[in-house]
Structure 1
Amino acid sequence: MKKKLLVAAVLGAMGTAASVFPVLAHAAEDKAMAAKPNAASAKASLKIEYQKFTLPNGLDVIFHIDRSDPVVAVNLTAHVGSAREKAGRTGFAHLFEHLLFLESENLGKGGLDKMTARIGGSGANGSTSQDRTNYLQTVPKDALEKMIWAEADKLGWFINTVTDQVLAKEKQVVKNEKRQSVDNNPYGHTSYVIDKAMYPADHPYNWQVIGSLEDLQNATVDDVKEFFRRWYVPNNVTLVLAGDFDPVQAKKWVEKYFGEIKRGEEIPSLPKRAGFVKETVKFYHEDNFARVPALTMAWPAVEQLHPDSYALEVLAEYLSRGKKAPFNQVLVEDKKLTSNVSIGSQNSELAGQFMLSVRAFDGKSLDDVAVAVNEAFAKFEKEGISEKDLNRIKAGQETQFYNSLSSVLGKSSQLAEYNYLNGNPAYIEQDIKNVLAVTPADVMRVYQKYIKDKNFVATSFVPKGKLNLALTGSTKAEVVEEKIVQGAEDAVDPNINATYTKTPSKIDRSKEPAYGAAADVKVPAVWESKLANGMRVYGIENKEVPLMQFEIVVGGGLLLEDINKVGVSNLMARLMTKGTAKKTPQELEEAMQQLGASINVSARTEDVRISVNTLARNYQATLALVEEMLLQPRWDEKEFALMKQSVLSQIRQQEANPNAVAGAQFSKLMYGQNNIRSRNQLGTAETINAISLDDLKAYYSKNMAASVARMHVVGAVPKAEVTASLQRLAKQWQAGKVVLPAPAAAPSVIGGKVYFYDIPDAKQSVLRIGYPALAVTDKDYYPASVMNYILGGGGFASRLTQELREGKGYTYGINSGFSGSKSAGAFTIGSGVRSNVTLESTQLVKKILQDFATTYTKDDLATTQSFMIKSNARAFETAGAKLGMLDNISEYGWKPNYVKDREQIVKTMTVEKIKSLAQTYFDPSRMVWLVVGDAKTQLPRMKELGFGEPILLNAETK
């Protein structure tokens, strides 16, 4: 579901996943698309200039000009999501999202995904919600005509290419996505249980966006064609172009390529229809992947843009966010039942929910949690919300609003979303006025109207064998869980060409349009400075939006910890945000919020980072808070105890999460038990229990020194002001004598072995394949990364994706890559595959690696060169990208134009050089092969991979 305010959409939607394998394009409902835009003062510029016109066939077209970078976001949004599906054919809208990337009559096999690899696009992507499906990417501006041609081909020249084989394969991909995001994920079935109880069987929100495995399997080509012809028509679609382009020429292209597509039948609006809970209902589910009990409570609420939705948003945030929040005070601090309570008002086009979620600490009864929930509500009823608190909640909204404008993709999504909701792309202006008009009386009114004494749906998801922790009076939830059956799916061959009569056109669409004038890529100007205490400062002045983003990076992190007491740096970093010597945790939090600032501190393997986002006009006040946090920690005993309990719960939850298990076990295999790099940054239950506040103080006093610090600054404040503002910090923060570990070479591992970690009844097997390889500073590192583009670094251009996902339907996503710093990191291939093809997947990966050097072609090199050079047009679009650039410069001593040096490496690469690198770095017999999955069905088969008997890592638990 999407929250009601939309301007901040998509900022992170195209980012790489945190784990080694990505969520590839074509995702089901994307909650990141629901991020809420914000503006809290009259100083915010709420207007986004745009042009809108409608073609005779009904296609709405919106242009927004932004010349800050030589790129254009192209967003095609169809007003069709799962709410338009038929019972028994659920998941169609999302299945369709996948199909539209595969092929069309004139793009040919590989469709838009294949073209993206050549033109340097951000990776063609899409998402499906209950209400809409969108297709979007950012491309260099010289490829704009190509994109308009391609999007028109999908809309008007696509459906004939869908064959039984193509459909059969894509069903497997979508089912793998469901296994990855729902079936193999802790608490993954929660929304399914709630929505079935919240909405009657004939309500369009009764089923999940991703659908059911059974419905997906039953889909036929005729079903697909019927769906396409009903919903994928110009009069149900919005096309948005946002970026650096000529609107006069772009309009001609749109008319040329889209104009002759026929209008479809008129599509009536669906009526608003709230959910209904006749009486409070409670369900329980024993979750195979849960390690702590979770309570979720949901009340029927209102749809997007409803007048009451704004106050419900404020209510949700006030109840749960921050030290002063009633739920934090009762459940976290007083009762110590959990480390966090999540409350949100989730609003979609037709209906909404007010949802509360608590993952309790291990062994805590959810009955006790429910009692505490009632106490927290009672506390709110008694105290209400003050004007000051209301303003505090609104204070950060201007910052978030400007963040949403830092990406042309974000702007395009906002314009499209408001257009399909009410036909007015500029509704953001009224939407924000509605947010700012909320009063304390409004917040209490919506609480009384929708929450107090109202019926709700409650779910208790508890670990296997822990039914005693579920809410009293709960009945068993009807959750369909897939059985692992060997050979259950038929083999598919999506390469079979469809035979059909081509759809006629008034123009020759068979030829891809030529590139426009080459984009002029300008490397941002970088300034440098060094403070008296030794801290190096690197900056980029950027006036596109009135924001400042900066980070202070202190070398050390996990590497400076005692290997027998891991977890100290993580606890210290988290505790630094919980008050200062002068401010209580609540006072510090409120000081940040009043500035509209976010300040986060995190510990990583090689450093501790303070990351800041604030309005440019509040930069100096925000910096003063950072100085106070850095130089005058509070060392609060109560917060330390809460933090330890929170980390222990997090460690416990990781134990049955297949992806977390795979990451932890792979690190151990890469580095060995005696290398601190093999350890979980969080620590273990034993080490956390042994850590004292004195340990944190000792780490801080010994290692948090300016001499090993560097600072990166991006935003609308000039160098002179930044350097002047840092003089106080230069005087107060001492240099210190910290010795960082010397860069480490790759440790030796015994390759050619299969390791298996058993998670009984896992619906997917998580694969991690690799070995310790290269440091970023190694001369082969970037050339090897260029080579890896075609293996697994290029998304849909890569062989791993083409063969395991597109060719076989074994996986939803797979990738490969080299990691590293000044020390050597691992080369890793990562994926989640259908359990019953675990062996077949690893055999195919092995073959791809073995054959890579001999099968690499000139066309592969041309695709790689085109993408890596052209994609530089969007290399510096966002503040995050600029911060990453400064990080590389400060850490490795690279020149500011290092991207141009890399271009030369790409341009001079040869097929022979790639083959030589592949023979050196892609040897499967050097690699460790790790499988995390269901041992009883998959372990015995893995000896057929040819690397001997697999080694069961958690044999002691059998």
Structure 2
Amino acid sequence: MTSKIKLLLASAAIGLALSACGATDSVTPETQISLPTGVTLVETVSPATGDQVVIPYTKYKLDNGLTVVLHEDKSDPLVHVDVTYHVGSGREEPGRSGFAHFFEHMMFQGSENVADEEHFKIISESGGTLNGTTNADRTNYFETVPSNQLEKMLWLEADRMGFFLDAVTQQKFEVQRETVKNERGQRVDNRPYGLLFERVGEAMYPEGHPYSWSTIGYLEDLDRASLTDLKKFFLKWYGPNNATLTIGGDMDPVQTLEWVKTYFGTIPAGPEHDDPVFEPITLDQDRYISLEDNVQLPLIYMAWPTVHANHPDEAPLDVLANILGQGQTSLLYQSVVKPGLTVQASSGHGCREIHCTLTLLGVANPAKVQKLGDLEAIMREAFTEFEARGVMDDDLTRVKSDIVSGMIYGLESVSGKISQLAAYETYRDNPNGIGDDIARYEGVTKADVLRVYEQYIKSKPAVVMSIVPKGKPEMIAKADTWQRYERTLPDFSGETDEFNWTRPTDPEGLDRSVMPEPGPNNPQIKAPDTYEFSVGDGIEVLGARNTEVPTTTISLRIKAGQSHETLDKLGLAAMTAGLLNEATTERTVEELSNELDKLGSSVSFNGGDTFSTMYIRTLSKNLDATMAIAMEKLLKPKFDQVDFDRDKANALQGIKANKKEASGVASNLFNKIMYGTDNPTAYAGTGTEETVENITLDDVKAFYAAHYSPKIASIVAVSDLDEAAMKKALAPLSQWTGDDVAAAEMKPFPQLSGGTLYFVDKPDAAQSEIRIGKRALPYDATGEYYKSNIMNYPLGGAFNSRINLNLREDKGYTYGARSFFNGDEKGGWYRAGAGVRADATAASIVEFVNEIRSYHEDGATAEELAFTQASLGQSDARAYETPRQKLGFLSRMSTYGLKADHVDEQAKILEGMSKADMDKLAATHLNLDDMIMIVVGDKAKVYDEVAALGYTMVEIDADGNPI
């Protein structure tokens, strides 16, 4: 073990011990608590000692095979519940792809004792948040709620595990089938490069291999599926013996196990399954494939088959991928990013349960690369350079530090801890995986990395995919040498609609139709305690202490950004911040990146509307070393002409590429119409092609000199270190000097033409993007802005809001629809929007309008008000858990001059909100006559139906120019 890693682990153990999140493994045959009948203790892992890093837990088994993992964490009054089923798209059969992902949707649609659309409502009303995810190997469902809601969550999860099938109807099936189609349209078919991984999977794996199709599956398979097919899939895979229930947070283990036994104990076990089997993938030759897509920037992607997750060679292959193409020290950065041949390039070693691939990715700059074959040749030279260069000491130290720090950052939330425990148990039958992972990366040697390169990569065939702009097939790397096959589908005609389901038999006295009440003790929510001091030239610091993990997060905010730009130099703030991420006068960007990676730290700059920000994240033990690098970046930027030219070229290509993204185009145009063309912040932060072309390196230097001043700087910080230690750590800022900076001026906003619909043509779009809204209120923590967001919650703020239930759950038009108020110091707006099926564009506009108009005229119901008060009132239990959440809270306080107790005033406002208050706000702020609409879609498919709605139609391009 290197001294650097020992230092990191010792630091981690100190912090984790404070949060009862630490390490020695001791398996005990006896329990210290009285276990319910049918519950067996498997093992207990205790808190940390020495330099170990482990999440303490206790693991149990129920007689029906359900694995239960409990982790106590009293640091916040909340609990996180995760149910992971060991089934993903890799367990599906040919011709029946997408079933696992489909069930992720279906299992939110109610069960025998939970009514339609009630799952989200119950958890939201409890002050919680929830979701589910599916990948090739597992499906998980999870929720984070105030701690007194735990029994209710276990009742919900058990009901959909044991009492789901009778509640599944054909109507629910059809609606969710449409929702999945919308998700595929939004995330795959309508997104630039969205088909990349599906096509590579087809070429990489033999037909019928479980990874040869994507997780979301083929639409034709879902179209062909019947309700019975889905029920059979459920019975096969969603039994308790194929699941892990992981619970963490502020709970009583004895009571929790009693609830688990009560609600899950009688659910019958499903079929037993063997673990999936790894079969090596061998390619006979390089397989070149290509696709013309609606993209601006050509992309090349190369993938080599390697091993499988948790294979002994996974760790050295990860190190190899890091050396090749991760970060500014990598070989790809040197060969293709730094010379400006690509706007992005990286390497990775993505691992799934039964197979991994090592990949190289390059997104070409078409101003310098006219054929992807040329780029491929240069990227492959990284292997030649690696052979000559070998593996350096810093490579191993850097990668290992990154692994360890990443694990520690992942422990900042109870959900992060629980997700790790659940994953380790699912894939390794052992939740105690962090120590094993650290050990295997600690054990990687230079010889290991060279060996896996020789064994799996050198001179081995790969799948090579080119994605090029439509109409430019000449840009592909090489003519296709592999063709997509016509899938051979099994004959399903002989299958019957019969299936056997054993209904759980509950003990007398258990009535599952009665939803458990919240626990008697409401969580006592308290905003973080804060401290204030100043450093350097009057820089105000607002901080909070977080002793759960040994990390520090700092945001240095300079009140100058896009708002300080001139209209002919839009994008200047972003470009200035970008160059501060490059070299300094003292060191190259590679040297800086290498040092930060070895520390497990990051320092980055970003230019926003109002603020330019330096963001620092580090293990607290390394704060002083990280601050030294941060100060070097802040005070000694090199502003090199070569870096500027590359960043400018990449920015121009990025602007062009963004015009291919329908969602971004719609939102950017909405912002421009709201604030007007005279205000810099009405435009995208990256600027326009014309304005970025105008920017010179001297402009960047001048913007930095004029605006990067401590006179307009402030700091918010969250750390396990106390106030005195933070004062000492931030003392180097006394080196920073600067002049006063005038505040930015906002020009008057334009008059909106209410009732106008602006249309942007996006040929061949599978979906249309809709935005509806108006100007509204600037941010106010306790005024009408805050109250208006409360008012909007049942209309468009919650998952089970009127808008989302209508367009997604009832009609199947969209993957998700929302509305919200957004505001800052300069102003604000109200906006509703969604990406919808192209053939439902006009119908979706009608439904949006109907819901907004109805709410505007009639207001909220008493039930909606009660739901809103319960949901928002209890959500504070999870509002300040992580350092990032605390940092956001402090940032709002700093920006708007708020005191910490403003949350108490907000709570009183929420509690005192009446139906009359809600109705008045809706009547005031939701007048459709004041609103404009934007639609980005395929004109040939949707324009006539949209025009028939009768709105004043104005056709514009992606920049907002009239056509």
Give the TM-score, by structure 2 length.
Answer: 0.91
Q: In the alignment, which of 403, 410, 415 is matched to residue 416 of structure 2?
A: 410
Residue-pair matches, total:
896
Question: Match of 1:425, SS?
Answer: coil
Q: In the alignment, which of 943, 950, 958 is matched to residue 946 of structure 1?
A: 950
Could you tell me which amino acid in structure 1 is paired with residue 779 of structure 2? V
1:412: Cα distance to partner?
1.0
Q: In the alignment, which of 32, 48, 55 is matched to residue 48 of structure 1?
A: 55
Q: Deviation per CA, 1:121-166: give whole Å up to 9, x if none.
A: 12x2010011100001111000000000110001001111111111
Partner of 1:753: 756
Q: Deviation per CA, 1:20-51: give whole Å up to 9, x if none.
A: xxxxxxxxxxxxxxxxxxxxx99754111100
Q: What is the correspondence of 1:139-158 to structure 2 with a 5 Å cutoff? A: 139-158=145-164
Partner of 1:690: 694
Partner of 2:334: 329
Partner of 1:554: 558
Partner of 1:83: 90
Partner of 1:294: 299
Asked whether the 8 Å contact 1:295–1:458 carries over to 2, the reply is: yes
1:689: Cα distance to partner?
2.4
Establish whether residue 275 from structure 1 lines up as the match of residue 281 from structure 2. Answer: yes
1:120: Cα distance to partner?
0.5
Asked whether the 8 Å contact 1:189–1:479 carries over to 2, the reply is: no
Instruction: In structure 1, list runs of 5 or more residues that go unmatched.
Output: 1-6, 9-40, 481-499
Asked whether the 8 Å contact 1:835–1:934 carries over to 2, the reply is: yes
Q: Deviation per CA, 1:750-780: give whole Å up to 9, x if none.
A: 1111011111010000111111211013821
Q: What is the correspondence of 1:35-434 to structure 2 with a 5 Å cutoff? A: 45-122=52-129, 124-287=130-293, 289-334=294-339, 336-362=340-366, 364=369, 365-434=371-440
Partner of 2:18: none
Quote the Cα distance in structure 1 between the aligned partners of 2:938 and 2:730.
55
Establish whether residue 850 from structure 1 lines up as the match of residue 853 from structure 2. Answer: yes
Could you tell me which amino acid in structure 2 is paired with residue 780 of structure 1? E
Asked whether the 8 Å contact 1:790–1:797 carries over to 2, the reply is: yes
Quote the Cα distance in structure 2 between the aligned partners of 1:855 and 1:892.
30
Asked whether the 8 Å contact 2:623–2:729 carries over to 1, the reply is: no
Could you tell me which amino acid in structure 2 is paired with residue 425 of structure 1? P
Deviates more, 1:157-166 or 1:248-257: 157-166
Asked whether the 8 Å contact 1:105–1:502 carries over to 2, the reply is: no
Instruction: In structure 2, list runs of 5 or more residues that go unmatched.
Output: 1-8, 13-47, 487-500
Quote the Cα distance in structure 1 between the aligned partners of 2:942 and 2:817.
20
Q: Deviation per CA, 1:841-886: give whole Å up to 9, x if none.
A: 0100000000014152110000000011111111100001100111
Partner of 2:622: 618
Quote the Cα distance in structure 1 between the aligned partners of 2:873 and 2:690.
49
Could you tell me which amino acid in structure 2 is paired with residue 61 of structure 1? V
Check 1:429–1:922 CA distance in 2 against 1; reply closer, same or farther (3 A cut). same
Could you tell me which amino acid in structure 2 is paired with residue 170 of structure 1? Q
Could you tell me which amino acid in structure 2 is paired with residue 271 of structure 1? V
Asked whether the 8 Å contact 1:546–1:716 carries over to 2, the reply is: yes
Asked whether the 8 Å contact 1:303–1:350 carries over to 2, the reply is: yes
1:478: Cα distance to partner?
4.4
1:726: Cα distance to partner?
2.9
- The higher relative CO (CA closer than 8 Å, separation ≥ 6) is in 1
Q: What is the correspondence of 1:598-747 to structure 2 with a 5 Å cutoff? A: 598-730=602-734, 732-741=735-744, 747=750
Asked whether the 8 Å contact 1:547–1:613 carries over to 2, the reply is: yes
Deviates more, 1:385-394 or 1:544-553: 385-394
Q: Deviation per CA, 1:74-109: give whole Å up to 9, x if none.
A: 000000101111211110000001000111111112
Partner of 2:917: 913
Asked whether the 8 Å contact 1:744–1:823 carries over to 2, the reply is: no
Could you tell me which amino acid in structure 1 is paired with residue 385 of structure 2? K
Quote the Cα distance in structure 2 between the aligned partners of 1:201 and 1:711.
56
Could you tell me which amino acid in structure 2 is paired with residue 269 of structure 1? D
Establish whether residue 505 from structure 1 lines up as the match of residue 506 from structure 2. Answer: yes
Q: Deviation per CA, 1:723-764: give whole Å up to 9, x if none.
A: 23333413x222521111257776531111101111101000
Asked whether the 8 Å contact 1:755–1:953 carries over to 2, the reply is: no
1:393: Cα distance to partner?
2.4
Q: In the alignment, which of 564, 571, 574 is matched to residue 575 of structure 2?
A: 571
Quote the Cα distance in structure 2 between the aligned partners of 1:912 and 1:501.
50
1:392: Cα distance to partner?
2.1
Quote the Cα distance in structure 1 between the aligned partners of 2:539 and 2:147.
39
Partner of 2:941: 937
Could you tell me which amino acid in structure 2 is paired with residue 825 of structure 1? G
Partner of 1:16: none
1:682: Cα distance to partner?
0.9
Could you tell me which amino acid in structure 2 is paired with residue 92 of structure 1? F
Partner of 1:21: none
Quote the Cα distance in structure 2 between the aligned partners of 1:639 and 1:477.
41
Quote the Cα distance in structure 2 between the aligned partners of 1:894 and 1:161.
48
Q: What is the correspondence of 1:826-837 to structure 2 with a 5 Å cutoff? A: 826-837=829-840
Partner of 1:777: 780
Could you tell me which amino acid in structure 1 is paired with residue 328 of structure 2? K
Q: Deviation per CA, 1:473-494: give whole Å up to 9, x if none.
A: 22586499xxxxxxxxxxxxxx
Could you tell me which amino acid in structure 2 is paired with residue 114 of structure 1? K
Asked whether the 8 Å contact 2:342–2:363 carries over to 1, the reply is: yes
Deviates more, 1:801-810 or 1:641-650: 641-650
Q: Deviation per CA, 1:655-694: give whole Å up to 9, x if none.
A: 2111221122222221222221222211222222221111
Could you tell me which amino acid in structure 1 is paired with residue 902 of structure 2? Y
Quote the Cα distance in structure 1 between the aligned partners of 2:874 and 2:962.
52
Q: Deviation per CA, 1:216-271: give whole Å up to 9, x if none.
A: 11221101110111111010000000111000000000000000001112112221
Could you tell me which amino acid in structure 2 is paired with residue 205 of structure 1? Y
Asked whether the 8 Å contact 2:676–2:749 carries over to 1, the reply is: no
Question: How large is the Cα RMSD of the aligned pairs?
Answer: 2.1
Quote the Cα distance in structure 2 between the aligned partners of 1:259 and 1:283.
51
Asked whether the 8 Å contact 1:534–1:735 carries over to 2, the reply is: no
Asked whether the 8 Å contact 1:284–1:475 carries over to 2, the reply is: no
Could you tell me which amino acid in structure 1 is paired with residue 194 of structure 2? G
Quote the Cα distance in structure 2 between the aligned partners of 1:679 and 1:205.
42
Could you tell me which amino acid in structure 2 is paired with residue 331 of structure 1? V
Quote the Cα distance in structure 2 between the aligned partners of 1:857 and 1:477.
57
Question: Match of 2:379, SS?
Answer: helix
Check 1:57–1:756 CA distance in 2 against 1; reply closer, same or farther (3 A cut). same
Asked whether the 8 Å contact 2:124–2:871 carries over to 1, the reply is: yes
Asked whether the 8 Å contact 1:747–1:772 carries over to 2, the reply is: no
Give the TM-score, by structure 1 length.
Answer: 0.91
Q: In the alignment, which of 825, 831, 842 is matched to residue 822 of structure 1?
A: 825
Q: What is the correspondence of 1:821-900 to structure 2 with a 5 Å cutoff? A: 821-853=824-856, 854=858, 856-900=860-904
Check 1:333–1:502 CA distance in 2 against 1; reply closer, same or farther (3 A cut). closer
1:501: Cα distance to partner?
13
Quote the Cα distance in structure 2 between the aligned partners of 1:57 and 1:322.
47
Check 1:77–1:369 CA distance in 2 against 1; reply closer, same or farther (3 A cut). same
Quote the Cα distance in structure 2 between the aligned partners of 1:137 and 1:660.
30
1:562: Cα distance to partner?
1.2
Check 1:600–1:889 CA distance in 2 against 1; reply closer, same or farther (3 A cut). same
Check 1:949–1:396 CA distance in 2 against 1; reply closer, same or farther (3 A cut). closer
